[in-house]
A and B are shown apart, each in its own frame.
Chain A
């Protein structure tokens, strides 16, 4: 568990460097990544569906990114993109690719569809959180 926490923090931190985020926001990127990945693992541990788990984790990442946006006065993608990268279904997409090579197209398409839906769920989580945020801000004002 501790290694997973360290892994997700360092991964999001390093992704921040690859995407050239401002230096002062690197730490926040790491936190966003760790929160997203840990909640994903937690939800999967309790037998939650992969797609719903990805959606909820992305929602959480986006929520935290909103808080960071206020703190650092920087665009939200700086935090949300490194944060959701660990959730991207790279493993499933790779498996799909493998089955294509083995000419097992049936399984390949099944896996590819799954990877596609999970990435859709992540993006939806991000967008929903933004819409919710705007609604809340409007109600407060």
Chain B
């Protein structure tokens, strides 16, 4: 029993950690972990998840474990896969050992789409956002260029700097800079529309909705800290653009 319950805790915590690292709402993380524990025969378990860590304990045994979550990205495919595992566990299709093995595979797996595909889709996205905000078709390509360049900076600077605020700031600075120069060189026409279109992919939409959702579900600590993260991102983007605008 002792060994088995260690495995239960390990599986639940790993599932929670993967979900939290990849952009699931906090209440879903807690819900999934508790469901997994229940399906493994645990009568009463307590789980406390925050954006920066998870505490998990089971009443039947004198053990509580904590994992820290330092790096958070968005990879909803992993969230879906963990969700799938917990559903199969609830139906009794897989055992703890199988689940643990699969969770470890998910944890180490690469993102669903390679970086070049994400870069292409960001630049396409920037162009179409420009159209949605009533921009002219002539500005489609300039928006693609600044949006793509900005995102490329976000990805590659983040690999060196490791501070999200800094890479987001630099990315939006690059977007503003390229947009202004394209307008000055006569490639683009409407500066505001180009900037809005290419900044939209960076907007922390997921964090804002997750934050409000957690707040309304009663997870006050998680909601507030997610909100702080979203605010910081928005602030980084805004100040990057603001500095470019005030220079020129």
The minimal Cβ–Cβ distance linking B86 to chain A, given in whole angstroms, is 11
Q: A77-B79, A101-B245 are in contact. Are A19 and B129 (CB under 8 A)?
A: no
List chain B residues, Cβ under 8 A from A90.
129, 133, 196, 199-200, 203
Determine whether A54 belongs to the interface, using a CB cutoff of 8 Å to chain B. Answer: no
Determine whether A50 belongs to the interface, using a CB cutoff of 8 Å to chain B. Answer: no
List chain A residues, Cβ under 8 A from B64.
none
Tell me if A10 and B75 are in contact (CB < 8 A).
no
Tell me if B132 and A22 are in contact (CB < 8 A).
no
A62-B217 Cα distance, complex, nearest whole Å:
16
Q: Which of A3, A7, A23 has the most CB of B within 10 A?
A: A7
Q: Mark A1-20, 1 if CB is under 8 A from B, else 0.
A: 00110111011011101111
Kindly report which residue of chain A lies nearest to residue B133, judged by CB atoms. Answer: A91
Determine whether A35 belongs to the interface, using a CB cutoff of 8 Å to chain B. Answer: no
Instruction: Give the number of residues in A that approach B within 8 Å (Cβ atoms).
Output: 46
Tell me if A127 and B216 are in contact (CB < 8 A).
yes
The minimal Cβ–Cβ distance linking A35 to chain B, given in whole angstroms, is 14
Residues facing B in A70-89 (CB within 8 A) are 73-75, 77-78, 80-81, 84-86, 88
List chain A residues, Cβ under 8 A from B208.
88, 119, 123
List chain B residues, Cβ under 8 A from A74.
80, 83-84
A11-B121 Cα distance, complex, nearest whole Å:
9
Interchain Cβ contacts within 8 Å, total number: 142
Binds A, one of B8-16, B22-30, B42-50: B22-30
Binds A, one of B53-61, B97-105, B111-119, B180-188: B111-119
A124-B200 Cα distance, complex, nearest whole Å:
21
Tell me if B113 and A7 are in contact (CB < 8 A).
no
Residues facing B in A16-58 (CB within 8 A) are 17-23, 25, 37
The minimal Cβ–Cβ distance linking B147 to chain A, given in whole angstroms, is 10
Tell me if B25 and A77 are in contact (CB < 8 A).
yes
List chain B residues, Cβ under 8 A from A95.
192
The minimal Cβ–Cβ distance linking B132 to chain A, given in whole angstroms, is 5
User: Contacts A17-B121, A77-B206, A126-B209 given; 20 further ones with Cβ under 8 A?
Assistant: A4-B131, A4-B132, A11-B125, A11-B128, A11-B132, A18-B118, A20-B76, A73-B87, A77-B24, A81-B205, A81-B209, A90-B133, A90-B203, A93-B203, A97-B241, A97-B242, A101-B246, A124-B212, A126-B212, A126-B213
3 smallest beta-carbon distances between A and B, as pairs: A123-B212, A14-B121, A14-B125
What are 24 A-B residue pairs whose CB atoms fall within 8 Å in the complex?
A7-B128, A14-B124, A19-B23, A20-B22, A20-B112, A21-B77, A74-B80, A74-B83, A75-B80, A75-B83, A77-B28, A77-B209, A81-B205, A81-B206, A84-B209, A85-B200, A88-B203, A88-B208, A90-B200, A120-B212, A122-B209, A123-B209, A123-B211, A126-B212
